[in-house]
Each structure stands twice: as C-alpha cells, then as structure tokens.
Amino acid sequence: MIEQIPFFQGLDAEDLAKLEAISVVKKYKKGEFLFIEGEEPKWLTFLITGSVKLYKTTANGKEIFIHQLAPMNFVAEVVNFENIPYPASAIFTISGEVLKINYEKFEAQFLTKPEICMKFLKSMAQKIRITTNLLHQELILSSEEKVARFILDHEDLFNELKHTKISSILNMTPETFSRILNKFKTNGLVKLDEKNQILEKDVGGLQEIYSY
C-alpha cells in the first residue's frame, strides 16, 4: 500500500521496507476522533481514504471549522515538526483509513533525504495556506460566498452531511444557510433531489459568487 501513496513514490525497495517497519494502518469510522485538541502527537498521520474535519472549540463550546481534509494528505504534520500539542481536533466525517508513522524514526531515517524533506516542507506550506484561507473566509467572505465555496469544493460532504451540520461548519445559523440554499435553487445555481443531494450545479454561476 505504501508504494501506491504519491508522497512516497520514488523510494527504493529498502526504504519502503524501512517505512513499513515503522508504520501501521488503522481504520476509523465516521464520528471517531483522529486526535483531540491539546493531545501530544505520537504519530505522523497520513490520510489514505475517508474525510477528516479539523476544528477548534471555543471556551463556550462553539466549534470553529478550520478545514476539511481529503485523502492522500498528511494531517497536522506541522505539530510533529514543531513538537507541540495539537492546536485543534480532527474527526472523521466519512469513514476511512490512516497510515500512522512513528515520527521520531521517520525524522531520523527519512527527513535526512533531500527529496523527502522537500515534499514534507511543501506539505507544511500547504497547511499554512489553509490557515490563510480560513482567515479570508471568516473575515472577508459573505455568507453566500461561504455556501457557494462549500458546494464547489466539498460536494461529497454536502451530500453526506445534514444541513444543520454544514451550517455549523460554515459558522452560520441553520436559518441563514437554508435561506441562501433556497435562493440558489430559485436562481438555478443548484438542483437537489428529495434527499437534498446535488443533482446539478451551475459551476460558473457559483464561481461568480465566490471568485477564486
């Protein structure tokens, strides 16, 4: 399995064997936590299948959505690199599998290799861009722009999650989300079936609302 992961392609048979020796694959069900805010990192984790939501919890218990992570990505690898507690929680919204790697041994055996080190740094840079996008979403985007972006970027989650959960992810009330979605349907931007799953979407029209 490891040799099929793009990040590790290019490793020779000896290195693949070393990586396998310090790794384990674990399955998670929808609703299970990968880690909880404040925990100390023990593993470098790579999401193989499924979908993971990253979020923070405020003092009054409100969830602040950070990012929805798709397969074939490291999860919070910056925490391992900086050796700090997890600053957020990660929960599976779609059941999946994770490759868990002993980070101490990975650092000693693989981050000394320039090609792996560069890929790892690029992955961490991507997470910095995610944080920047979060600030942009919360400080600049309107509610309509948030909904349009979610439909464009996360159609699978839109079809999987209840609308009350999506509204929570987007940090808006269910009433606001419902009003915006009804407006999108009236304007022909999205068409849903009886289970509120997307049948059609006007990509161009939604992009006009939320411009990349």
Closest by CA position to 77, among listed 21, 137, 34, 18:
34
Domains in the chain, CATH or no CATH each: 2-115 (2.60.120.10), 142-210 (1.10.10.10)
31-73 pLDDT, tens digit per residue, is 999 999 999 998 999 999 999 988 888 777 777 777 788 898 8
**Running DSSP on this structure, what letter comes out for residue 47?**
E
Q: Give the up-direction half-sphere exposure of residue 85: CA atoms within 13 A in the CB hemisphere.
A: 7
89-125 pLDDT, tens digit per residue, is 999 999 999 999 999 998 888 878 777 767 776 766 6
Report pLDDT for 131. Answer: 56
180-205 pLDDT, tens digit per residue, is 999 999 999 999 998 888 999 999 99
pTM of the model: 0.64
Identify which has the larger pLDDT, 160 or 192.
192
User: Alpha-carbon distance 126 to 131, whole Å?
Assistant: 9
Identify which has the larger pLDDT, 195 or 9.
195
Report pLDDT for 24. Answer: 94
Say if CB 75 and CB 46 are below 8 A apart: yes
